[in-house]
Amino acid sequence: MAFNLDIRTLSFASAVIAAVLFGYLLHLQLTRKTYPGFGLWTLAALSAGVGLILVGLRGLTPDLITVVSANFFIILAMMLVYRGMAIFCGQRPKVWPDAGLMIAFLGLICWFTYGPASVNWRIIIFSLLNSYYALRAARLAAVEGAALLGSRNWQLISTLAGLGAFFLLRAALTFLWEHQLADLMAAGALHALTFLVSFVGHILTFTGLVFLNIQRLELDLTTAQHQVRQLSGLLPICAHCKRIRDDGGQWQQVEKYISARSDAGFTHGICPQCLAELYPEVTPAVRAGASGDQPPTPVA
Protein backbone atom coordinates (compact mmCIF):
# COMPACT_ATOMS: atom_id res chain seq x y z
CA MET A 1 0.00 0.00 0.00
CA ALA A 2 1.50 3.32 -1.06
CA PHE A 3 1.72 6.17 1.44
CA ASN A 4 1.47 9.59 -0.14
CA LEU A 5 3.17 12.19 2.03
CA ASP A 6 1.70 15.30 0.41
CA ILE A 7 2.08 18.98 1.28
CA ARG A 8 -1.07 19.10 3.39
CA THR A 9 0.07 16.12 5.47
CA LEU A 10 3.51 17.64 5.99
CA SER A 11 1.95 20.95 6.98
CA PHE A 12 -0.29 19.42 9.64
CA ALA A 13 2.56 17.23 10.93
CA SER A 14 4.78 20.31 11.27
CA ALA A 15 1.95 22.13 13.07
CA VAL A 16 1.69 19.29 15.60
CA ILE A 17 5.43 19.48 16.29
CA ALA A 18 5.22 23.27 16.72
CA ALA A 19 2.28 22.86 19.13
CA VAL A 20 4.24 20.33 21.23
CA LEU A 21 7.24 22.68 21.31
CA PHE A 22 5.00 25.57 22.36
CA GLY A 23 3.61 23.51 25.24
CA TYR A 24 7.12 22.52 26.27
CA LEU A 25 8.44 26.10 26.25
CA LEU A 26 5.37 27.42 28.05
CA HIS A 27 5.80 24.79 30.77
CA LEU A 28 9.43 25.80 31.24
CA GLN A 29 8.52 29.47 31.35
CA LEU A 30 5.88 28.90 34.05
CA THR A 31 7.81 26.44 36.21
CA ARG A 32 11.52 27.22 35.75
CA LYS A 33 13.80 30.23 35.78
CA THR A 34 13.98 31.81 32.35
CA TYR A 35 15.67 34.95 31.07
CA PRO A 36 14.42 37.97 29.09
CA GLY A 37 13.59 36.91 25.54
CA PHE A 38 12.38 33.41 26.45
CA GLY A 39 8.75 34.59 26.34
CA LEU A 40 9.18 35.67 22.71
CA TRP A 41 10.56 32.22 21.86
CA THR A 42 7.44 30.67 23.40
CA LEU A 43 5.25 32.96 21.28
CA ALA A 44 7.35 32.05 18.24
CA ALA A 45 6.51 28.36 18.65
CA LEU A 46 2.81 29.25 18.95
CA SER A 47 2.95 31.50 15.90
CA ALA A 48 4.66 28.80 13.83
CA GLY A 49 2.02 26.26 14.82
CA VAL A 50 -0.85 28.58 13.90
CA GLY A 51 0.74 29.44 10.55
CA LEU A 52 1.33 25.80 9.62
CA ILE A 53 -2.23 24.82 10.50
CA LEU A 54 -3.50 27.60 8.24
CA VAL A 55 -1.24 26.39 5.41
CA GLY A 56 -2.79 22.93 5.77
CA LEU A 57 -6.21 24.49 5.21
CA ARG A 58 -5.13 25.90 1.83
CA GLY A 59 -7.92 25.48 -0.71
CA LEU A 60 -10.49 24.79 2.01
CA THR A 61 -10.83 28.31 3.43
CA PRO A 62 -10.37 31.82 1.93
CA ASP A 63 -6.91 32.92 0.77
CA LEU A 64 -6.86 35.74 3.32
CA ILE A 65 -6.60 33.08 6.03
CA THR A 66 -4.60 30.33 4.35
CA VAL A 67 -2.22 32.46 2.27
CA VAL A 68 -1.85 35.92 3.78
CA SER A 69 -2.34 35.05 7.46
CA ALA A 70 -0.44 31.75 7.22
CA ASN A 71 2.65 33.39 5.71
CA PHE A 72 2.45 36.21 8.25
CA PHE A 73 2.41 33.88 11.28
CA ILE A 74 5.27 31.71 9.99
CA ILE A 75 7.51 34.72 9.28
CA LEU A 76 6.46 36.25 12.60
CA ALA A 77 7.76 33.12 14.33
CA MET A 78 11.28 33.57 12.93
CA MET A 79 11.19 37.29 13.68
CA LEU A 80 10.27 36.53 17.32
CA VAL A 81 13.15 34.06 17.54
CA TYR A 82 15.51 36.82 16.36
CA ARG A 83 14.08 39.50 18.66
CA GLY A 84 14.05 37.12 21.62
CA MET A 85 17.71 36.33 20.93
CA ALA A 86 18.56 40.04 20.84
CA ILE A 87 16.80 40.69 24.16
CA PHE A 88 18.41 37.59 25.69
CA CYS A 89 21.81 39.03 24.75
CA GLY A 90 21.00 42.34 26.45
CA GLN A 91 20.07 44.35 23.36
CA ARG A 92 16.96 46.47 22.82
CA PRO A 93 16.01 45.98 19.16
CA LYS A 94 13.93 48.76 17.68
CA VAL A 95 10.35 47.90 16.81
CA TRP A 96 9.85 49.96 13.66
CA PRO A 97 12.39 48.27 11.34
CA ASP A 98 10.81 44.86 11.93
CA ALA A 99 7.29 46.28 11.82
CA GLY A 100 8.10 47.98 8.52
CA LEU A 101 9.44 44.75 7.06
CA MET A 102 6.34 42.83 8.14
CA ILE A 103 4.03 45.48 6.64
CA ALA A 104 5.97 45.40 3.36
CA PHE A 105 5.87 41.59 3.42
CA LEU A 106 2.10 41.55 3.93
CA GLY A 107 1.67 44.07 1.12
CA LEU A 108 3.67 41.95 -1.33
CA ILE A 109 1.91 38.72 -0.31
CA CYS A 110 -1.47 40.40 -0.81
CA TRP A 111 -0.33 41.76 -4.19
CA PHE A 112 0.79 38.35 -5.45
CA THR A 113 -2.39 36.77 -4.09
CA TYR A 114 -5.09 39.17 -5.26
CA GLY A 115 -3.23 41.00 -8.03
CA PRO A 116 -1.10 39.14 -10.57
CA ALA A 117 -1.32 35.90 -8.59
CA SER A 118 2.00 34.08 -8.38
CA VAL A 119 2.81 31.22 -6.02
CA ASN A 120 6.46 31.42 -7.09
CA TRP A 121 6.88 35.05 -6.08
CA ARG A 122 5.19 34.39 -2.75
CA ILE A 123 7.68 31.57 -2.14
CA ILE A 124 10.61 33.82 -3.10
CA ILE A 125 9.53 36.67 -0.82
CA PHE A 126 8.75 34.31 2.04
CA SER A 127 12.09 32.50 1.67
CA LEU A 128 14.15 35.71 1.54
CA LEU A 129 12.61 37.18 4.69
CA ASN A 130 12.83 33.85 6.51
CA SER A 131 16.51 33.63 5.56
CA TYR A 132 17.13 37.20 6.71
CA TYR A 133 15.83 36.62 10.23
CA ALA A 134 17.41 33.17 10.55
CA LEU A 135 20.85 34.49 9.61
CA ARG A 136 20.54 37.49 11.93
CA ALA A 137 19.56 35.21 14.80
CA ALA A 138 22.50 32.91 13.97
CA ARG A 139 24.90 35.85 14.12
CA LEU A 140 23.54 36.91 17.50
CA ALA A 141 23.96 33.38 18.84
CA ALA A 142 27.51 33.12 17.47
CA VAL A 143 28.78 36.54 18.58
CA GLU A 144 26.76 38.25 21.32
CA GLY A 145 25.49 34.97 22.78
CA ALA A 146 28.98 33.51 22.95
CA ALA A 147 30.32 36.68 24.58
CA LEU A 148 27.56 36.56 27.20
CA LEU A 149 27.92 32.87 28.04
CA GLY A 150 31.61 32.32 27.39
CA SER A 151 30.87 29.44 24.97
CA ARG A 152 28.99 28.79 21.74
CA ASN A 153 25.78 26.80 21.36
CA TRP A 154 26.74 25.06 18.13
CA GLN A 155 23.40 23.29 17.76
CA LEU A 156 21.53 26.59 17.67
CA ILE A 157 24.10 28.42 15.56
CA SER A 158 24.37 25.70 12.92
CA THR A 159 20.59 25.18 12.78
CA LEU A 160 19.81 28.87 12.29
CA ALA A 161 22.65 29.33 9.80
CA GLY A 162 21.54 26.20 7.93
CA LEU A 163 17.94 27.40 7.77
CA GLY A 164 19.09 30.80 6.52
CA ALA A 165 21.24 29.25 3.80
CA PHE A 166 18.53 26.77 2.79
CA PHE A 167 15.84 29.42 2.37
CA LEU A 168 18.23 31.63 0.45
CA LEU A 169 18.90 28.71 -1.90
CA ARG A 170 15.16 27.99 -2.02
CA ALA A 171 14.48 31.53 -3.24
CA ALA A 172 17.21 31.27 -5.88
CA LEU A 173 16.01 27.88 -7.18
CA THR A 174 12.40 29.07 -7.35
CA PHE A 175 13.42 32.15 -9.30
CA LEU A 176 15.86 30.44 -11.69
CA TRP A 177 14.66 26.88 -12.09
CA GLU A 178 11.24 25.97 -10.76
CA HIS A 179 8.33 26.20 -13.19
CA GLN A 180 5.34 28.40 -12.46
CA LEU A 181 3.19 26.82 -9.74
CA ALA A 182 -0.56 27.03 -9.93
CA ASP A 183 -1.30 25.54 -6.50
CA LEU A 184 0.93 25.19 -3.45
CA MET A 185 -0.74 21.92 -2.50
CA ALA A 186 0.32 20.47 -5.85
CA ALA A 187 3.94 21.64 -5.57
CA GLY A 188 6.67 19.15 -6.25
CA ALA A 189 9.57 17.60 -4.39
CA LEU A 190 11.37 20.89 -3.71
CA HIS A 191 8.47 22.24 -1.72
CA ALA A 192 8.05 18.95 0.13
CA LEU A 193 11.75 19.16 1.03
CA THR A 194 11.15 22.68 2.36
CA PHE A 195 8.55 21.35 4.79
CA LEU A 196 10.84 18.53 5.89
CA VAL A 197 13.71 20.97 6.51
CA SER A 198 11.36 23.26 8.44
CA PHE A 199 10.10 20.24 10.35
CA VAL A 200 13.60 19.37 11.58
CA GLY A 201 14.59 23.03 11.89
CA HIS A 202 11.78 23.79 14.33
CA ILE A 203 12.81 20.95 16.62
CA LEU A 204 16.51 21.85 16.60
CA THR A 205 15.92 25.61 16.89
CA PHE A 206 13.58 25.55 19.88
CA THR A 207 15.50 22.85 21.75
CA GLY A 208 18.65 24.87 21.04
CA LEU A 209 16.99 27.94 22.58
CA VAL A 210 16.10 25.90 25.67
CA PHE A 211 19.73 24.77 25.92
CA LEU A 212 20.80 28.42 25.62
CA ASN A 213 18.66 29.25 28.64
CA ILE A 214 20.20 26.29 30.50
CA GLN A 215 23.71 27.52 29.62
CA ARG A 216 22.92 30.85 31.24
CA LEU A 217 21.52 29.13 34.32
CA GLU A 218 24.73 27.11 34.61
CA LEU A 219 26.78 30.29 34.23
CA ASP A 220 24.84 32.00 37.03
CA LEU A 221 25.27 28.93 39.23
CA THR A 222 29.02 28.83 38.57
CA THR A 223 29.31 32.55 39.35
CA ALA A 224 27.36 32.11 42.60
CA GLN A 225 29.57 29.17 43.61
CA HIS A 226 32.66 31.27 42.91
CA GLN A 227 31.32 34.06 45.12
CA VAL A 228 30.59 31.57 47.91
CA ARG A 229 34.15 30.26 47.65
CA GLN A 230 35.42 33.82 47.88
CA LEU A 231 33.54 34.37 51.12
CA SER A 232 34.42 30.99 52.61
CA GLY A 233 38.20 31.17 52.18
CA LEU A 234 40.84 33.25 53.96
CA LEU A 235 40.14 36.97 53.50
CA PRO A 236 43.12 39.38 53.58
CA ILE A 237 41.93 42.03 56.05
CA CYS A 238 43.76 45.07 57.43
CA ALA A 239 44.53 44.65 61.15
CA HIS A 240 43.86 48.34 61.77
CA CYS A 241 41.07 49.66 59.53
CA LYS A 242 39.50 46.24 58.82
CA ARG A 243 39.32 46.78 55.05
CA ILE A 244 39.49 43.66 52.82
CA ARG A 245 41.75 43.31 49.79
CA ASP A 246 39.87 42.06 46.68
CA ASP A 247 41.22 40.02 43.75
CA GLY A 248 42.27 43.21 41.99
CA GLY A 249 44.40 44.36 44.89
CA GLN A 250 41.97 47.10 45.94
CA TRP A 251 41.10 47.59 49.61
CA GLN A 252 37.37 47.79 50.28
CA GLN A 253 35.25 48.28 53.36
CA VAL A 254 33.87 45.04 54.78
CA GLU A 255 30.28 46.07 53.99
CA LYS A 256 31.04 46.82 50.35
CA TYR A 257 33.06 43.64 49.85
CA ILE A 258 30.42 41.30 51.29
CA SER A 259 27.45 43.09 49.65
CA ALA A 260 29.08 42.74 46.23
CA ARG A 261 29.52 38.99 46.70
CA SER A 262 26.33 37.97 48.47
CA ASP A 263 22.73 38.97 49.08
CA ALA A 264 23.56 40.20 52.59
CA GLY A 265 22.69 43.77 53.54
CA PHE A 266 23.93 45.92 56.42
CA THR A 267 22.38 48.17 59.01
CA HIS A 268 24.57 50.10 61.41
CA GLY A 269 24.44 50.44 65.18
CA ILE A 270 26.95 50.65 68.03
CA CYS A 271 27.91 47.97 70.50
CA PRO A 272 27.96 48.67 74.29
CA GLN A 273 31.76 48.51 74.49
CA CYS A 274 32.23 51.13 71.75
CA LEU A 275 29.43 53.22 73.22
CA ALA A 276 31.19 53.31 76.61
CA GLU A 277 34.53 54.11 74.98
CA LEU A 278 33.34 56.79 72.56
CA TYR A 279 30.41 58.31 74.42
CA PRO A 280 31.04 57.84 78.17
CA GLU A 281 28.70 60.71 79.08
CA VAL A 282 25.61 58.93 77.68
CA THR A 283 26.45 55.40 78.78
CA PRO A 284 24.75 55.56 82.25
CA ALA A 285 21.55 56.95 80.71
CA VAL A 286 21.49 54.24 78.04
CA ARG A 287 22.05 51.48 80.60
CA ALA A 288 19.37 52.91 82.90
CA GLY A 289 16.94 53.11 80.00
CA ALA A 290 17.63 49.50 79.11
CA SER A 291 16.93 48.36 82.71
CA GLY A 292 13.91 50.62 83.22
CA ASP A 293 15.49 52.57 86.13
CA GLN A 294 15.83 56.32 86.36
CA PRO A 295 19.37 57.64 85.94
CA PRO A 296 20.95 58.92 89.17
CA THR A 297 20.44 62.63 89.93
CA PRO A 298 23.66 64.52 90.50
CA VAL A 299 24.05 65.99 94.05
CA ALA A 300 24.80 69.73 94.16
Task: Report pLDDT for 1.
Answer: 37
Rounded to 5°, angle at Cα 23 from 20 and 24: 85
Distance (Å, rounded) from C-alpha 49 to C-alpha 97?
25
Q: Are 198 and 172 in contact (CB under 8 A)?
A: no
| Residue 29 confidence (pLDDT) above 90 | yes
Per-residue pLDDT reduced to its tens digit, 73-94: 999 999 999 999 999 999 999 9
Q: What pLDDT score was predicted for residue 34?
A: 95
- Residue with more model confidence, 133 or 267: 133
Model confidence band, residue 245 (pLDDT cutoffs 50, 70, 90): confident
Residues 125-156 as b or e (16 or more Cβ within 10 Å = b):
bbbbbbbbbbbbbbbbbbebbeebbeebbebb
DSSP code, position 36: T
**Helix spans in the chain (H):** 7-31, 38-56, 63, 70-88, 95-114, 119-142, 144-149, 154-176, 189-232, 254-261, 272-278, 283-291
pLDDT digits (tens, 9 = 90+) for 190-222: 777 887 888 899 899 999 999 999 999 999 888
* pLDDT the model gives residue 289: 60
Distance of CA 201 to the CA centre of its chain: 17
What's the pLDDT score for residue 239?
81
pLDDT digits (tens, 9 = 90+) for 132-150: 999 999 999 999 999 999 9
Confidence of residue 300 (pLDDT cuts 50, 70, 90): very low
- Could you tell me the sign of the dihedral formed by the alpha carbons of 88, 91, 92, 96, in that order? negative
Average pLDDT value over all residues in the chain: 85
Predicted confidence (pLDDT) per residue in 108-129, tens digit: 999 999 988 888 899 999 999 9
Is the whole model's pTM more than 0.85, yes or no? no
**Half-sphere exposure of residue 205, counting CA atoms within 13 Å on the CB side?**
33
Mean pLDDT of 146-158: 93
181 touches 175 (CB < 8 A): no
